[in-house]
Amino acid sequence: MTSTKPILKAIELKKTFGQAKSIVHAVENVSLEIYPGELVLIMGPSGSGKTTLLSMLGALLQANSGEIYINDSDIALMNESDLANLRAQKIGFIFQAFNLMEALTVEENILFPAQLGVDKGKNAKQRLAILLERLGLISRRKALPNTLSGGEKQRVAIARALINKPDIIFADEPTGNLDSHKGQEVMMILHDIARDDGCAVLMVTHDPRVEEIADRILWLEDGQIRDRKSEQHDWVKDPVCGMRVDSWSAIYKTDYEQRKLVFCSSRCLERFTKEPNKYVVTEL
Amino acid sequence: MFYWSIKTLFSEPIRLLASVLAIAISFILVIFFSAVFEGESDQMVIYFDKVDADIWVMQKGVSNMHMASSMLWDWKVDKISQINEVEDVAAILYLNGPVKIAGKNWFSYIIGITPEYSRAGPWSTIQGKSIPGKGEAIIPEVIAKLSGIRIGDVLALVDRKLRIVGLTRNTFSMASSLVFVSRADLADVLKGSDQYSYIMVYAKTGANHHQLKNRIEEEVDKVNVLTADEFIKNDKQLAVQMGVEIVNMMRILGTLLATLIVAFTGYSLIIRKKQELAIAKALGFKNWQMYSTVLFQSLILSLLGLILALIISFGLLARLPDFVPQINLSIQLHQFTFILIFIFPIASIASIIAARSIVKLDPVIVFQN
């Protein structure tokens, strides 16, 4: 479903924080193109600038230099109001922490940005019904976020990101707070969105399981996109869920009885921390 | 966003109640001071209302009663009573000053009356005599309660002792209570046995009060004649002049307090909901939309505060004089109108700090896990 015209184009993006000796080059000369229907991953070690890059591409953070085009529109030329419209109408966001509105029900959360859409929310109710059905949330439509499981919360967040039919979705570690099963489920939904709707999905992740369904992987290291070297993979087993995890890029790690253990998600790490003996014994 | 703001407010009912209660208390303060002021102002002229004269005659140059002194020769009473349109007259000797009861001075309207002019006397005696004889006095029951004295006890008027023979209701005021004594005693004090201070004139049915007023001025020398409305207005105006600055200051303080509470509530809500506001910003809501939301929340809080203040004022505050009898309260709807007029400015000013926080809010925090 890919097209020859990129939905997102970034040229020579740079972002630094701090000054003089304490300056940090978070993103250094990054150029990329994302096409409709693509699911592209941005991977890399912690602190490599992935979230900073995503923030800039999502028109939330201003770059020091470089250009970003979304649907051929240069976002550097947009004022605050235009950028807000762009985020509301062209971009969908999915976050690791779900970021739902606590006081709103599932359907209210999904409809929350609908009034900002191109049609001012005119067809929002119809789209809501479709999204609830598609994401398996019909029975939970009146539920409040604090009664939802992590997987349900992320599905609500996905529905909210889709309510205004965006051209591109930026997802920041969308499986980071989910166990392996729920994480898989969320990844498949995002994969389907890209394949079936033609919506581009740009995902920051540490989760190696996503690699299998991604169209492309951009490896970010020290703020720069680099070729990913094969020796940088070090596949190990998550002692909790048994998933394959790249210990080189994994962020959920712990030392236990002089061993380094690596986990696929925060959930698995939490489970391990509660009952380490259970999982270590299993592995042995 | 408006829907979000309402649901967010009501999702924390205890916090909401605390905020609304705090705002209501500041509004009640404003209402309380206005009500005390108006209650006292009304009480200052209650004597004029109750004696219900059509026309008041006093010494030339005098135009009110509060803190005034007036002396008229007693023959003027007869002269006025002989005018055709006059149905009846009553006359009093009057002194504005302290009366010492149980060691404490009570600033009072001291009215010297005679049985002949009993309609100028107390209108609601709850215990004892209605007309004091020589050496006697009738005082408000509130003073008796507060001083712990009873009928038969003694009060001091200048250099003489008077025995308390009656208690009256609805005659107490913090500024000037009504103490009735015999004209003879007051005449001794004032050295004016052939004088009165004020003459109350009751017109015949159908008589034109303004024409009668002019007639009295023509017939009687060196007097000032006022219709009851003019006389009451003068006294009330004096009361307003005396108290309006203090009451206005209290109103401003109460309003400022309410503004501070609304601002604090709005600001604390923003701090607590910072993440959600950042999400809204990231999703494409503009600063003005979010500011409108905060303003809307402040308005709702202020309105809820006002409604609660209304309920408390009419339900509880109005009963305060039952427990604190020395307070005269007059709770009127227009006191709420004052607050209602100021609610939008209060909410707007209170939202400024919140608005600044919203503008500064960095939507990138949505990526913080």
Written as six digits, the tokens of A201 are 């999905």
> Which residue of B4, B275, B286 is in closest CB contact with A112?
B4
Q: Do A116 and B285 touch (CB under 8 A)?
A: yes
Instruction: Compare all CA atoms of chain A with the CA of B276 and give the residue at the minimum distance.
Output: A101
Using a CB-CB distance cutoff of 8 angstroms, which residues of chain A are in contact with residue B363? 60
Written as six digits, the tokens of A162 are 């889709």
* The pLDDT of residue A185: 79
Written as six digits, the tokens of A115 are 């009034």
A40-67 per-residue burial string, b: 16 or more CB within 10 A, e: under 16: bbbbbbeebbbbbbbbbbbbbbebeebe
Distance CA(A25)–CA(B112), nearest Å, equals 95
The one-letter code for the residue type at A192 is: D
This model of the complex carries an ipTM of 0.76
Residues, chain B, total?
A: 369
Using a CB-CB distance cutoff of 8 angstroms, which residues of chain A are in contact with residue B279? 99, 101
Residue B366 touches partner A, C-beta closer than 8 Å: yes
* The pLDDT of residue A284: 42
Determine which helix (DSSP H) or strand (DSSP E) holds A133, and give its type and residue range.
Answer: helix A124-134
* The pLDDT of residue A136: 86
Q: CATH number for A8-226: choose from 3.40.50.300, 3.30.565.10, 3.10.180.10, 3.90.1300.10.
A: 3.40.50.300
* The pLDDT of residue A228: 63
Q: Do B364 and A96 touch (CB under 8 A)?
A: no
Instruction: Compare all CA atoms of chain A with the CA of B363 and give the residue at the minimum distance.
Output: A60
Instruction: Compare all CA atoms of chain A with the CA of B287 and give the residue at the minimum distance.
Output: A81
* The pLDDT of residue A220: 87
Determine which helix (DSSP H) or strand (DSSP E) holds A187, and give its type and residue range.
Answer: helix A180-192
pTM over 0.80: no
pLDDT at A230 over 70: no
B residues 270-309 closer than 8 Å to A (CB): 275-276, 279-287
| Domain ranges within chain A, ordered by starting residue | 8-226, 235-283
DSSP for B98-130? Answer: EEEETTEEEEEEEEEE-GGGGGGS-S-EEEE-S
Which residues does B157 contact at the CB level (< 8 Å), separation at least 6?
Answer: B99, B100, B110, B137, B179, B181, B185, B186, B189
Task: List, in sequence order, the alpha helices (H) in chain B.
Answer: 2-10, 13-44, 46-51, 75-81, 141-147, 183-190, 209-219, 228-272, 274-283, 287-315, 320-323, 333-360
Interface of chain A toward chain B, CB-CB under 8 angstroms: 51, 54-55, 58, 60-61, 80-81, 84-89, 93, 95-97, 99, 101-104, 108, 112-113, 116, 160, 172-173, 176-177
* The pLDDT of residue B195: 93
- Nearest alpha-carbon partner for B94 in B75, B120, B76: B120
Written as six digits, the tokens of B244 are 């309006």
> Which residue of A51, A61, A101 is in closest CB contact with B276?
A101
Tell me the per-residue pLDDT of A108-129, one tens digit each, with 9 for 90 and over. Answer: 999 999 988 877 878 888 889 9
Q: Do A84 and B276 touch (CB under 8 A)?
A: no
- Please answer whether residues B140 and B151 qualify as being in contact, where contact means their C-beta atoms are separated by less than 8 angstroms: no
Question: How would you classify the pairing of strands A252-256 and A244-246?
Answer: unpaired
Distance CA(B274)–CA(A210), nearest Å, equals 32
Instruction: Compare all CA atoms of chain A with the CA of B7 and give the residue at the minimum distance.
Output: A103
Written as six digits, the tokens of A267 are 């959930």
* The pLDDT of residue B263: 81
Tell me the per-residue pLDDT of A13-45, one tens digit each, with 9 for 90 and over. Answer: 999 888 877 888 888 889 999 999 888 999 888
Name the minimum distance, in Å, from the CA of A95 to any CA of chain B: 6
Q: Is B152 exposed, middle or buried (0-12, 13-18, 19+ CB in 10 A)?
A: exposed
What angle is formed at CA B323 by the lines to CA B317 and CA B329, rounded to 5 degrees? 45
Q: Do A86 and B282 touch (CB under 8 A)?
A: no
Per-residue pLDDT of chain B (369 residues; tens, 9 = 90+): 788 888 888 888 898 898 889 888 888 888 888 888 888 888 888 899 999 999 999 999 999 888 889 999 999 999 999 999 999 999 999 999 999 999 999 999 999 999 999 999 999 999 999 999 999 999 999 999 999 999 999 999 988 899 999 999 989 987 779 999 999 999 999 988 899 999 999 999 999 999 999 999 999 999 999 999 999 999 888 877 776 677 778 778 877 887 888 788 778 877 888 888 889 989 999 888 888 888 888 888 888 988 998 888 888 877 887 788 777 788 888 777 877 887 788 778 877 887 788 888 888 888 776
Instruction: Compare all CA atoms of chain A with the CA of B359 and give the residue at the minimum distance.
Output: A80
pLDDT at A1 over 50: no
Tell me the per-residue pLDDT of B9-34, one tens digit each, with 9 for 90 and over. Answer: 888 889 889 888 988 888 888 888 88
- Give Cα A130 to chain centroid, integer Å: 22
* The pLDDT of residue A283: 45
Using a CB-CB distance cutoff of 8 angstroms, which residues of chain A are in contact with residue B284? 84-89, 113, 116
Residue B353 touches partner A, C-beta closer than 8 Å: no
pLDDT at A282 over 60: no
- Please answer whether residues B335 and B310 qualify as being in contact, where contact means their C-beta atoms are separated by less than 8 angstroms: no
Q: Do B364 and A103 touch (CB under 8 A)?
A: no
pLDDT at A205 over 90: no
The one-letter code for the residue type at B56 is: W
Q: Do A108 and B7 touch (CB under 8 A)?
A: yes
Residue B60 touches partner A, C-beta closer than 8 Å: no
> Which residue of A60, A96, A113 is in closest CB contact with B364?
A60
Determine which helix (DSSP H) or strand (DSSP E) holds A70, and give its type and residue range.
Answer: strand A65-70
Q: What is the mean pLDDT of chain A?
A: 85
Distance CA(A233)–CA(A246), nearest Å, equals 6
Distance CA(A101)–CA(A109), nearest Å, equals 6
Which residues does B189 contact at the CB level (< 8 Å), separation at least 6?
Answer: B95, B157, B158, B159, B160
Q: Do B7 and A104 touch (CB under 8 A)?
A: yes
- Please answer whether residues A32 and A168 qualify as being in contact, where contact means their C-beta atoms are separated by less than 8 angstroms: no
Worst-scoring range by mean pLDDT, A149-153, A167-171, B246-250?
Answer: B246-250
- DSSP letter (8 states) at residue A146: G
Worst-scoring range by mean pLDDT, A177-186, A199-208, B163-172, B288-297?
Answer: A177-186
- List the single best residue of B274, B283, B293 to mutate versus A (max A Cβ within 10 A): B283
- Nearest alpha-carbon partner for B196 in B232, B168, B220, B160: B220
Residue B264 touches partner A, C-beta closer than 8 Å: no
Distance CA(A16)–CA(A28), nearest Å, equals 8
* The pLDDT of residue B182: 96
Instruction: Compare all CA atoms of chain B with the CA of A93 and give the residue at the minimum distance.
Output: B283
What angle is formed at CA B336 by the lines to CA B334 and CA B337, rounded to 5 degrees? 60
Per the rule left: phi > 0, alpha: psi between -120 and 50, beta: everything else, B159 is: alpha
Written as six digits, the tokens of A266 are 């925060």
Distance CA(B355)–CA(B294), nearest Å, equals 7
Distance CA(B183)–CA(B185), nearest Å, equals 6
Q: Is A158 exposed, middle or buried (0-12, 13-18, 19+ CB in 10 A)?
A: buried
* The pLDDT of residue B237: 83
Residue B360 touches partner A, C-beta closer than 8 Å: no
Give the SS3 label for residue A219. strand
3-state helix, strand, coil in chain A (%, to 5): 40, 25, 35
Written as six digits, the tokens of B357 are 């926080």
pLDDT at A181 over 80: no
Q: Do B279 and A88 touch (CB under 8 A)?
A: no
Tell me the per-residue pLDDT of B187-216, one tens digit each, with 9 for 90 and over. Answer: 999 988 899 999 999 999 999 999 999 999
